[in-house]
Amino acid sequence: MRFSIVVPLYNKQSFIAETLRSVLEQTFADFEVIVVDDGSTDAGAAVVSAMDDTRIRYVRQDNAGVSVARNEGIRLALGEWVAFLDADDRLHPNYLASQDRAIRRHPDSSFVATGYRTVPAEEWDARIQDWPPTGSGEDFELIDDLPTRWMKSSTFMTSCVAIRRSLLDDLTPCFAVGESAGEDLDLFFRAAERSVIVFNPAPLHAYRAVNAGGLSAMARPQDEPPFLSRLENRARSGSANQAARSAIRFVQEIRISNARALLAAGGRLEALRMLWRSRSAATRHRWWTTAAMSILLPAALADSLHQRRLQRKQHR
């Protein structure tokens, strides 16, 4: 079997049928779907059962969080490649076909991904209908330095990714249990340290956006996602190659962004503390600009500038 698609489910009965239909309608047919119900209290299980398709496997666990659900799906997967899909999102009919082309054209890679489109939840029904057909998907980009690529723009999401099962076995536990911010990026960056990523920028996944925001909004900024420290430690302990240097810079840039978010929220002292954590980036203009903002700028103006920056990032 080529693909196992892992769908964590928690109280998404209103969306799961559409999500699963988007998988069943794929033009590439060699796949299974593993729905891992993370202790839902709604009628999602009945909706999945009513789909009545042998390619769908349903398992239920006590509520333990999305990381545990995804890890369980990986454990149960029969496919050579494991893909992920959130229970309220949707795949383009050519998604798996694109991933399969990427695998065949670059057989040494263990990590393939596509682009995505963000659709506001309140506009979903209207905008999802005008999803244009994609081309042949031949313009693959090879990413061998994910930190640098990610600093340009958020490259892909969890539901855009397929990773070879053998690589996931080496990275177990794949998703960090007990973490609710950055657990997907933790897996991406660890996998990218072992494999070139074959990336098709075509938007073959639709993300239902409820609350917009960038990396700095993944959690309260003062609660830095633990994966950042792990990424920095790996980069500093390994060889000082370009990817390692890029990873350190990536962590610094996120900390600077978090300092700006803290300042916008009125946490001037916390912003300065976050800047101190990124002090090795003090040779950069952005660090000094943020430091000046933290010392001199009124909180209201800092918040306005921060929100404008987030809006620009979302439209890249």
The answer on pLDDT for 105 being more than 60 is: yes
Q: How confident is the model at residue 298 (pLDDT cuts 50, 70, 90)?
A: low
pLDDT at 1 > cutoff 70: yes
Q: Is residue 173 predicted with pLDDT exceeding 70? A: yes
Give the pLDDT mean for 137-156: 89
**Phi and psi at residue 213, to the nearest 5°:** 160, 160
- pLDDT(126) > 60: yes
CA 184-186-188 angle, 5° bins? 70
CA–CA separation, 277 and 214 (whole Å)? 20
Tens of pLDDT along 180-205? 788 999 999 999 999 999 999 999 99
Lowest mean pLDDT among 45-49, 261-265, 286-290: 286-290
Q: Cβ distance 161 to 111 under 8 Å?
A: yes
Give the least confident one: 170-174, 252-256, 257-261: 257-261
Residue 26 has phi, psi (to 5 degrees) of -65, 145
Q: Residue 304 has what pLDDT?
A: 55
The stretch 16-30 carries a mean pLDDT of 97
Could you tell me which residue, 260 or 38, shows the higher pLDDT?
Answer: 38
Q: pLDDT over 90 for what percent of the chain?
A: 59
Output the pTM of the full model: 0.84
Task: Give the model's confidence band at 18: pLDDT under 50 very low, under 70 low, under 90 confident, else very high.
Answer: very high
* Confidence band for 287, pLDDT divided at 50, 70 and 90: low
pLDDT of 22 over the 50 cut: yes
Chain-wide mean pLDDT for the chain? 85
* Tens digit of each residue's pLDDT (9 = 90 or more) over 195-238: 999 999 999 999 998 754 333 344 445 567 899 999 999 998 87
Q: Domains in the chain and their CATH numbers? A: 3-209 (3.90.550.10), 219-314 (no CATH)
Q: Which residues of 220-256 are buried (b: 16+ CB within 10 A; e: fewer)?
A: ebeebbbbbebbbeebeeeeeeebbebbbbbbbbbbb
